[in-house]
């Protein structure tokens, strides 16, 4: 089996056509260089050098092999360079998955600042919900995940990185008497099962003594944007991030209903046992420190 050291010895010898000079360059003895070349020739049953007088010359087979050997060494050195750069954040990839609210409203500024600080790092963001994000981190499809709330998954570590608040909203013309709105009997627009928004809302309702399974759900929609459009159409209420609804409340399309839901946390997920790349380690630290 040919080794990297044998390749390096062969190339050094072929370029100098001299065993002693090659040995001096490599910091080896001439006998070690000669033994390495003989071992290579014996293993593959061919001659790489002709011994002409007191010197050596490449055989036709040796000249062909020299081209391949030099290209292989160049590729190995390039690989070494890439490894070195990966460790110093000069190059690499950061795979992140996040639930919709975080991906659309909280995470972009962090990713942009990170990209400016480390322009050689390619950032890949995939948007999902809490369930799909957690699964991606668990199975190694993403190094870091961001979800709303906490997750009880033994192999995943949870770190709070920010806070948010859910609010209950309706179209501006919906039931002007706020005190008459009953969360238990109102018609709702909801996110899908598995989303952090729905999970946090259902937990909050249970704490109020309301059974989520008995609620009147008119629509189940897969995105915050779809929910915004639907709730502005009137007739239903919805729970969404305070950040998301703020512009629509300000311009009068939506109004806040007088129900105080507890704050929720934005949580960073990472696998407890999988190796984290330098970009993942740096971005995790970035999320804890970047405003």
Residue 85 confidence (pLDDT): 67
**Full DSSP string of the chain:** ---HHHHHHHHHHHHHT-HHHHHHHHT--HHHHHHHHHHHHHHHTS-SEEEETTEEEE-HHHHHHHHHHHHHHHHHHHHHHHHHHHHTTSSEEEEEEEEHHIIIIIHHHHHHHHHHH-TTEEEEEEEE-HHHHHHHHHTTS-SEEEEES----TTEEEEEEEEEEEEEEEETTS-S-GGG--TTTSEEEEEPTT-HHHHHHHHHHHHTT--GGGSEEEEEESSHHHHHHHHHTSS-EEEEEHHHHHHHHHTTSEEE-S--PPEEEEEEEEESSSPPPHHHHHHHHHHHH--
Residue 176 confidence (pLDDT): 52
Residue 290 confidence (pLDDT): 67
Residue 177 confidence (pLDDT): 45
What distances in angstroms separate CA 33 from CA 21, 38, 40, 92, 231, one per listed residue?
Answer: 10, 9, 11, 38, 79
| Cβ 196 vs Cβ 240: under 8 Å | no
Residues 6+ apart with CB under 8 A from 187: 216, 217, 218, 235, 236, 237
| Cβ 216 vs Cβ 246: under 8 Å | no
Residue 150 confidence (pLDDT): 80
- b/e burial code for range 261-287 (CB count within 10 A of at least 16 → b): beebbbbbbbbeeeeebbbbebbbebb
Residue 204 confidence (pLDDT): 87
| CATH superfamily ID and name for 92-162+266-289 | Periplasmic binding protein-like II (3.40.190.10)
Residue 154 confidence (pLDDT): 93
- How far, in Å, CA of 268 to CA of 58, rounded? 60
Residue pLDDT tens, the chain, 291 long:
788 899 999 999 998 988 999 889 889 999 999 999 999 999 999 999 998 877 899 999 999 999 999 999 888 887 876 777 677 788 888 999 999 889 988 999 999 999 999 999 999 999 999 899 999 999 998 999 999 888 889 999 999 999 888 999 999 877 654 446 788 889 999 999 888 888 889 988 898 889 988 999 999 999 989 999 999 998 899 999 998 999 999 999 999 998 888 888 899 999 999 888 889 999 999 888 766
Question: Is the pTM higher than 0.85?
Answer: no
User: Would you tell me which CATH number, out of the four given (3.30.565.10, 3.40.50.720, 3.40.190.10, 3.10.180.10), belongs to the domain 165-262?
Assistant: 3.40.190.10
Considering only the top CATH level, what class is 4-87? mainly alpha
| Cβ 266 vs Cβ 146: under 8 Å | yes
Inter-axis angle of helices 242-250 and 224-232, nearest 10: 30
Domain limits, CATH 3.40.190.10, in the chain: 92-162+266-289, 165-262
Domain limits, CATH 1.10.10.10, in the chain: 4-87
């Amino acid at each position: 089996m040919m080794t990297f050291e044998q390749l390096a010895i062969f190339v050094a010898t072929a370029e100098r056509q001299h065993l002693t000079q090659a040995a001096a360059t490599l910091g080896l003895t001439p006998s070690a260089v000669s033994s390495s070349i003989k071992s290579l020739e014996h293993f593959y049953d061919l001659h790489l050098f002709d011994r002409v007088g007191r010197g050596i010359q490449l055989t036709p087979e040796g000249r062909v092999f020299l081209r391949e050997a030099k290209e292989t060494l160049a590729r190995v050195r390039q690989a070494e360079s890439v490894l070195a750069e990966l460790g110093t954040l000069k190059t690499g990839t950061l795979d992140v998955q996040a639930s919709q609210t975080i991906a659309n409203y909280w995470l972009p500024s962090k990713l942009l600042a990170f990209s400016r600080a480390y322009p050689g790092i390619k950032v890949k963001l995939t948007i999902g919900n809490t369930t799909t994000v957690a699964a991606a981190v668990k199975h190694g499809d993403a190094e870091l995940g961001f979800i709303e709330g906490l997750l009880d998954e033994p192999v995943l570590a949870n770190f709070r990185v920010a806070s948010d608040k859910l609010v209950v909203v309706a179209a501006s013309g919906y039931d002007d008497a706020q005190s008459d709105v009953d969360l238990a009997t109102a018609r709702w627009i909801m996110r899908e099962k598995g989303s952090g928004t729905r999970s946090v809302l259902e937990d909050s309702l249970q704490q109020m003594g309301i059974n989520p399974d008995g609620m009147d759900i008119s629509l189940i929609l897969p995105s915050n944007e779809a929910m915004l459009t639907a709730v502005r159409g009137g007739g239903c209420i919805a729970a969404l991030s305070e950040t998301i609804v703020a512009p629509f409340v300000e311009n009068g399309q939506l109004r806040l209903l007088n129900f105080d839901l507890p704050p929720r946390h934005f949580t960073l997920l990472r696998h407890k046992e999988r190796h984290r790349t330098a970009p993942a380690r740096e971005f995790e630290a970035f999320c804890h420190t970047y405003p």
